[in-house]
């Protein structure tokens, strides 16, 4: 197996698409031996990737994410960039469907030799999907992709995960910002480094108004000493207006923010998250669901305080070790 993995790593580093697809399938598998092989593969690939830009992209369904990614992706691929498009879609984790499953969503990019599109892994928890997307990012970078676009459906928790694995985060909104702004969760606005009013072609004046409103909102949300002041742009994914300007802003961001430091911090955060999950899983397995329920019921009934309940379970653990 070690030889097979070394061969896979070699083929992947040579930029072979099939090897990349195979490695991603391995990373998406939840079988313990595949998880182990994935970690081994990642170790073989460590430090072998060139420089890259990781961009997260979100917005409510219908805002134009796939059209936008198609326009941006084709622009970059034509410039010689190698573009990978990944997705984090918690609904696909639940339903088995996927926002990225339908290849017709990005017809030009799908067939471009410089692009690689991967649907959201289906099945598993949001945490699991996010973890696999992180690993897929590393695999794509090792295969020579220098622009990683991670799409997420702008409806909840997945944005925090994606912001934690990308260098910057782009929020797409619509020209009729009055209602739209209320629909955007404040938490998502706070994650945005660049906001883009898409579909500016449909309502040019409303788009300018929305841009101004966003600018004000972003100014209010951003601390004075922040290394980057989030910007609001307008664009049309259909006409292509504003897409080169967006990319210029991305480059500005990359030159102003210490990306290496940000990634180190993200890796440490990832470690914390994995450790928390693993420790919890181990504790739950060792304690057993019956015992946990028992103590929980005692807390609920008022026989124990919540703190006493926790202490009881933990000291039982300690006594066993």
Residues found near ligand GDP in the complex (CB under 6 A)? 59, 61-67, 198-199, 201-202, 236-238
User: Exposed/middle/buried for 226, CB within 10 Å: 0-12, 13-18, 19+?
Assistant: exposed
Q: Rounded to whole angstroms, what are the CA distances from 238 to 58, 63, 84, 300?
A: 17, 12, 21, 56
For ligand GDP, the closer CB: 119 or 309: 119
CB of 65 to ligand GDP, least distance (A): 3
CB within 8 Å of 101: residues ≥ 6 apart: 92, 119, 120
User: Residue 236 Cβ, how far from ligand GDP at the closest point, in Å?
Assistant: 4
Terminal C-alpha separation, the chain: 35
Closest CA relative to residue 130, chosen from 71, 97, 90? 90
Structure tokens at 160: 């925090």
Task: Give 49 or 83: the residue with its C-beta nearer to ligand GDP.
Answer: 83
C-beta closer to ligand GDP: residue 23 or 195: 195
Give the shortest CB-129-to-ligand GDP separation in angstroms.
18
Residue facing ligand GDP at closest CB distance: 64
Shortest approach of ligand GDP to residue 59 CB, angstroms?
A: 6
| 285: Cβ contacts below 8 Å, ≥ 6 apart | none
DSSP letter string, 239-267: T-TTHHHHHHHHHHHHHHS-HHHHHHHHH
Q: How far is the CB of 244 from ligand GDP (least distance, A)?
A: 14
Q: How far is the CB of 238 from ligand GDP (least distance, A)?
A: 4
Q: Which is nearer to ligand GDP, 112 or 131 (CB)?
A: 112
77 closest CA partner among 115, 103, 49, 51 = 115
Q: Which is nearer to ligand GDP, 59 or 230 (by Cβ)?
A: 59
C-alpha–C-alpha distance, residues 186 and 156, integer Å: 11
Tokens of 34: 């595949």
* 194-197 and 147-153 beta bridge pairing: unpaired
Shortest distance in whole angstroms from residue 61 CB to ligand GDP: 4
Nearer to ligand GDP, 67 or 122 (CB): 67
Nearer to ligand GDP among residue 211 and residue 236 (C-beta): 236
């Amino acid at each position: 197996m070690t030889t097979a993995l070394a061969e896979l790593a070699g083929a992947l580093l040579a930029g072979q698409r099939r090897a990349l697809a195979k490695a991603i399938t391995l990373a998406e598998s939840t079988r313990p031996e595949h998880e182990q092989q994935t970690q081994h593969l990642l170790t073989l690939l460590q430090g072998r990737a060139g420089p890259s830009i990781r961009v997260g992209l979100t917005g409510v369904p219908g805002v134009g994410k796939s059209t936008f990614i198609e326009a941006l992706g084709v622009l970059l691929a034509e410039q010689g960039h190698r573009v990978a498009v990944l997705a984090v879609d918690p609904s696909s984790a639940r339903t088995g469907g996927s926002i990225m499953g339908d290849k017709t969503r990005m017809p030009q990019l799908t067939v471009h030799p410089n692009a690689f599109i991967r649907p959201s892994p289906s099945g598993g928890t949001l945490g699991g999907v996010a973890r696999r997307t992180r690993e897929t990012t590393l695999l794509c970078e090792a295969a020579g992709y220098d622009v990683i676009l991670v799409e997420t459906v702008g409806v909840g928790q997945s944005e925090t995960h994606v912001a934690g694995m990308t260098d910057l985060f782009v929020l797409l909104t619509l020209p009729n910002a009055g209602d739209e702004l209320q629909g955007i969760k404040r938490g998502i606005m706070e994650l945005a480094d660049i906001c883009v009013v898409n579909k500016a072609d449909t309502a040019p004046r409303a788009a300018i108004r929305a841009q101004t409103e966003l600018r004000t909102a972003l100014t209010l949300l951003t601390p004075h000493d922040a290394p980057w002041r989030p910007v609001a742009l307008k664009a049309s994914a259909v006409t292509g207006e504003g897409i080169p300007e967006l990319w210029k802003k991305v480059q500005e961001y990359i030159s102003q923010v210490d990306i290496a430091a940000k990634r180190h911090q993200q890796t440490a955060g990832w470690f914390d998250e994995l450790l928390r999950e693993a420790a919890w899983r181990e504790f739950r397995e060792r304690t057993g669901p019956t015992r946990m329920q028992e103590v929980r019921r005692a807390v609920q009934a008022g026989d124990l305080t919540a703190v006493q309940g926790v202490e009881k379970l933990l000291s039982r653990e300690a006594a066993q070790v």
